[in-house]
Chains A and B, each alone.
Chain A
């Protein structure tokens, strides 16, 4: 029995015999590099990556610049295809699923998306409905939004606190407002898996907190699976169920924040010393950068 059959069986077994842990994603021995079609391929971006993403969990992917975090996210979204290894989405090989089918289950929020054309925020959020909207042949492919689409969009906008921006052009938004618009677009897609690349990079504290707790709630209440690429170790520690440390294209370690985030691991992954103590509220690891020139005590 291959691992894919196994994953499919656990999915089937769920209906018959109570809760079986099954995976939103199963990544097996994946190797990936860009420009493989050229005679001289680029060096491997990801090597021998194996990991699983459980349904309903928040997985954080952290690591230094250029370690392959974003590429890993793109692999999960089927934006790029691995040269070796397999990825399964809910037990089905990602390779065999059409882009349309993937889009009905997986939503992606890219790192930063500067916009050229003055679509309104509402129009942009409604684009998330594209994979779900029926398209009649006689309507010239116009596919007008129906009530369900508008409802999903306004709820997503309310969740991301951008209702007051609905009529503004996306070209006139600040970075944080644009980021929230893109997350709302992903939520309007009604996904089962949400992939976010640096979702909090442009956000102020209030909205960082709001988005993280919203994601947490969607995971807990609706079984949404979330994969976040982030540079913010503290955010990953506080809000992720598990954290994967990526270094030079390989998953160094993966596990609960309290297990994974140790001085030794962080020093090995990032190549610099950090201070770790407990968060005053949650007791989860809190990472602080040491001050230059001060005596360092791990």
Chain B
């Protein structure tokens, strides 16, 4: 921010960037001629655009592959033809409309889109929580935010809200409130301790998960059996093709959340440096933390109310992206969103096609991929995390 006209402290004439030039220290080793200039070792707009373009192209291609696969194979040419006919309104072959078209537009496309959205949101929330808690193992699922949201939704369903016309707007709110309870506990912990040890956050997550799971099990046990079965299926994490208006509402909701997180990328960078350095650089850390926790709870609540508990995406994806692309959140957050979307899209395709005609809950796939990775981070990379 530029100093305003009524700047109460005289501007820093004494020590501006250009006067800081002091040359190499007399006692220091001479600077090596091949030293990289700053531009080469930081994130530049050019690199940002390169990486994001590449990732978007890969995401597009992967979406095409996922659309092909399923109980019935639909070729790429056919898919592109169907899209073209949809876009340009060309008369289409009767046969196409009857089978492939219905499968593609009524079942597969909304499902792939939902998978991408949910994956993006979980990965983005993971990035934000990791920076906030300075903990590379933070993840909405591990911290109990997802199960808190699930409990909120389960309570709503128990009282019959799930079957009313208001379900679409009320269930995400209930999920949000449940997730907020979990985040409030974590926030209180983080506020009372100077620096929150990684393992105590995980422990808090374990306890929260245990309590929320117990309550969810209690609720399912007192429900009618046929409803409790649906509840269990939803809890395991599943992406069922939503109707287009529902999908549009959800994506609007989640895109706003993503945008709000994207606006905080620079602040996330500084927060990752540490709480006190962030404050000494002029950030109102308490306000920013509350805001990001709130957005995270909102997004997790919405995602969980639609797709149940899909775990570990928020942990694996940011970690992998950080290894390859570096830690700058200006790239890490959008890239993780794309990679997270791709990951869940692919995992869901595996879930749909592995045991045709029956379907594996996608939460099972992500947990089987993410759990071992989590153990690896915890056990073998301990030096970094302690």
Q: How many residues of A contact B (CB 8 A)?
A: 79
**CB of B28 within 8 A of chain A?**
yes
Report the minimal beta-carbon distance from A88 to chain B, rounded to whole angstroms. Answer: 11
Q: From the candidates B8, B269, B279, B327, name the one contacting A92 in the complex (CB within 8 A).
A: B8
- DSSP majority for the A interface? helix
**CB of B39 within 8 A of chain A?**
yes
Assuming the A-B contacts A154-B37, A156-B20, A222-B19, are A99 and B279 also in contact, with contact meaning beta carbons closer than 8 angstroms in the complex?
Answer: yes
The answer on a CB contact under 8 Å between B17 and A190 is yes
Q: From the candidates A107, A135, A145, name the one contacting B42 in the complex (CB within 8 A).
A: A145
**CB of A166 within 8 A of chain B?**
yes
- DSSP majority for the B interface? loop
Total A-B contacts with CB atoms under 8 angstroms apart: 200
The answer on a CB contact under 8 Å between A152 and B31 is no
Q: From the candidates B263, B276, B281, name the one contacting A103 in the complex (CB within 8 A).
A: B281
The answer on a CB contact under 8 Å between B27 and A223 is no
Q: Which of under 10, 10 to 19, 20 to 34, or 35 or more describes the interface residues of B?
A: 35 or more
Q: From the candidates A113, A148, A163, name the one contacting B17 in the complex (CB within 8 A).
A: A148
**CB of A106 within 8 A of chain B?**
yes
A interface footprint on B27-52 (CB within 8 Å = 1, 0 otherwise)? 11101100111111111110000000
**Which residues in window 193-229 of A have CB below 8 A to B?**
206, 209-210, 214, 217-218, 222-224
Q: Which of A45-53, A121-129, A266-274 contacts B (4 or more CB under 8 A)?
A: A121-129
Query: With a CB–CB cut-off of 8 A, which chain B residues contact A97?
Result: 8-9
Query: With a CB–CB cut-off of 8 A, which chain A residues contact B327?
Result: 117-119, 123, 169
Report the minimal beta-carbon distance from B3 to chain A, rounded to whole angstroms. Answer: 7
Measured between alpha carbons, how far is A124 from B278 in the docked complex, in Å?
12
Report the minimal beta-carbon distance from B131 to chain A, rounded to whole angstroms. Answer: 8
Query: With a CB–CB cut-off of 8 A, which chain A residues contact B43?
Result: 123
**Which residues in window 74-113 of A have CB below 8 A to B?**
74, 77, 79, 89-90, 92, 97-108, 110, 113
5 A-B residue pairs with Cβ-Cβ distance under 8 Å, sorted by A, are: A79-B276, A123-B42, A155-B17, A209-B27, A222-B20
Contact residues of B with A, CB < 8 Å? 1-3, 7-10, 12, 14-25, 27-29, 31-32, 35-45, 131, 134-136, 259, 262-267, 269-270, 272-274, 276-277, 279-284, 322-323, 326-328, 330, 384-385
